[in-house]
Amino acid sequence: MIVVEAHRRATGRCARIVHALGTGESFAVVAAEGGFRDVVSGLVAQPTAGDDLLVGTRRLTLGFDDAVLFRGEDLESGARFTGRAGGGASVTLYADGGDYFQYAVVDHAAT
């Protein structure tokens, strides 16, 4: 959900498919009222006032440092993350412990 929202904020377009490059998993996403929904899990994410993102019942902060770099935190667990989104085709998410995850993104403009 972080990847989809980072892509949306960077490009202004909602992703429809997110492909995890490390695991080969793909996630279908559809726009939902006020946000978007993961098709398989049904989990809904909704941007809130400020830089927050409500994912189900969890609240995340997500703010951009510039046109590409973003950072945030899961306010429930305290887990922090950073990332890069801005090219329109991919998002890289860096976990606080040094791991990183790359995602290819297909959005509605690519149809």
- CATH code for the domain in which residue 67 is found: 2.40.128
- Chain segment 42-59, per-residue pLDDT in tens: 999 999 888 899 999 999
| pLDDT exceeds 80 at position 108 | no
Domain housing 76: 2-110
Distance CA 44, CA 38 (A): 7
Task: Enter the tokens of residue 22.
Answer: 């490390």
| Count of structural domains, the chain | 1
Q: Looking at this protein, which amino acid is placed at residue 28?
A: A
Q: What 3-state class would DSSP assign to 23?
A: coil
Residue (of 35, 34, 32, 30) closest to 15 by Cα position: 30
Residue 50 has what pLDDT? 80
**Do you know the residue count of the chain?**
111
Quote the pTM value: 0.90
